[in-house]
Amino acid sequence: MPGAIDGLRSLAAGLAAFLVAATAGATPDLETGRRLFESTCAACHGAQGRPNPDDPAVKALDPPPADLSDPLFNSREPALDWQLVVTHGGHALGLSPQMPAWGSPFSEGEIESIVAYVKTLAPGSERYPPGELNLMLPVRTQKAFPEDEVVWKSRYADQDGEDVWRNVLEFEKRFGRGGQGILELVEEEGSLHEVEVGWKQALTWSLADGYLLSGGAKIAIPTEGDGLEEFIPFLAWAQELSSRATLQASTRAILPFDDVDAGELEFAGIVHFTWSDWPQRVFPAIEATATLPFESGDGDSVQFTVLPQLRFGLTRGGHVALNLGAEIPLSDQPYDWRAHLTLLWDFADGGFFKGWGR
């Protein structure tokens, strides 16, 4: 029996080693990437990643080639997106159709090496949050990555008495290496209910370990007489779980200036299933929240909800996306259920009407 057990252990160890070897990808070769980039890509993008505006070939291109040496641009673009563009051409992600596809002359490993080399062309880009951690926008969970986006959020609440519609128009503008300004206009029952202004800052991240931590705060200013001014600090976390799943989590406090006891603490988290590398797909997710009112009253001391949702990439690059979700309370709350709709436009990646269709 001991011999059989030892044999099984050896078999399991060998099988594990085989699976690791079979699934591990080759490390990109920067020297190969440099050689291929200089022999092909540099004609348009420049030997150092910066196009020469006086080059006749560059002048003939509309739009002009991207400046790969810009650390903000270089850092915010995920390597996987660039691999898709190099392999399938610019049209594949709604970019310039003049960008050719190189998937036939180059192997997958060579393309990975080219992109890895391109990522070295912007000195200082490591001081910017990497675009690989720019995860999909949740409904309730605060997002960690600093953005250049316009977001419309609409919520319908089915509750006793009169049902409630709430709409939020959010403007997000990135500043510096990891900062983001926030402006939100909140409408309820046909009138402007409040204005929220704030700031988000990326605090620490690791591309190797796949995480990003951000913090920030907003001030809610009511536009109606019965509202309360509120201070809303928050922390947000993004984590790559695997090549096919991501986790986001956040916590925030809602603190009325005049009556802190009327505030609450909220925890939220979401897992997205990223089953495809292509942004123009439908991605399922499951989100959950827990809210702790400082004064629980007669209701539950903790209010729980679960929120299944779907993200629809509307453009080939995914810079315009729609999110639909249904929020179901798991505790005693004033509504029976909520429907959520979110429309996102990442204007850093182009105009709203760019890249629609196939």
Higher pLDDT, 36 or 25: 36
| Structure-derived torsion over alpha carbons of residues 183, 185, 215, 310, reported in degrees to the nearest 10 | -120
The whole-chain average pLDDT of the chain stands at: 90
| Structure-derived torsion over alpha carbons of residues 64, 76, 267, 284, reported in degrees to the nearest 10 | 60
Q: How far apart are CA 203 and CA 215, in angstroms?
A: 7
Exposed, middle or buried by CB within 10 Å (0-12, 13-18, 19+), for 7?
exposed
pLDDT over 90 for what percent of the chain?
A: 77
Three-state secondary structure of 16-62: HHHHHHHHCCCCCCHHHHHHHHHHHHHHHHCCCCCCCCCCHHHHCCC
Name the token pair of 239.
């984590």
Q: How far apart are CA 275 and CA 246, in angstroms?
A: 11
- Residue 297, number of CB atoms within 10 A of its CB: 7
Which among 191, 262, 179 is positioned nearest to 217, based on CA atoms?
Answer: 179
pLDDT at 159: 82
| Residue that has been written with the tokens 């591309």 in this structure | 207
> How sure is the predictor about 299, in pLDDT bands with cuts at 50, 70 and 90?
low
Answer whether residue 206 shows pLDDT above 90: yes
pLDDT at 6: 54
Q: How far apart are CA 199 and CA 46, in angstroms?
A: 36
- As a whole number, mean pLDDT of residues 71-75 equals 96
- As a whole number, mean pLDDT of residues 113-133 equals 96
Q: Look at domain 131-349 and name its CATH class.
A: mainly beta
> How sure is the predictor about 342, in pLDDT bands with cuts at 50, 70 and 90?
very high
- As a whole number, mean pLDDT of residues 162-178 equals 94
pTM of this structure: 0.89
Q: What is the pLDDT of residues 134-158, one digit of tens each?
A: 999 999 999 999 999 999 999 999 8
Could you give the residue range(s) of every CATH 2.40.160.40 domain in the chain?
Answer: 131-349
Q: Which helix (H) or strand (E) holds 118?
A: helix 108-118
Q: Which fold has domain 30-127?
A: Cytochrome Bc1 Complex; Chain D, domain 2 (1.10.760)
Q: What is the pLDDT of residues 213-245, one digit of tens each?
A: 999 999 999 998 777 899 999 999 999 999 999
Which among 124, 141, 134 is positioned nearest to 79, based on CA atoms?
Answer: 134
pLDDT at 20: 41
Which range among 5-14, 93-102, 256-265, 302-311 shows the weakest confidence by mean pLDDT? 5-14
> How sure is the predictor about 18, in pLDDT bands with cuts at 50, 70 and 90?
very low
Q: Are 311 and 135 in contact (CB under 8 A)?
A: no
Could you give the residue range(s) of every CATH 1.10.760.10 domain in the chain?
Answer: 30-127
pLDDT at 16: 40
Q: How far apart are CA 138 and CA 297, in angstroms?
A: 30
pLDDT at 198: 98
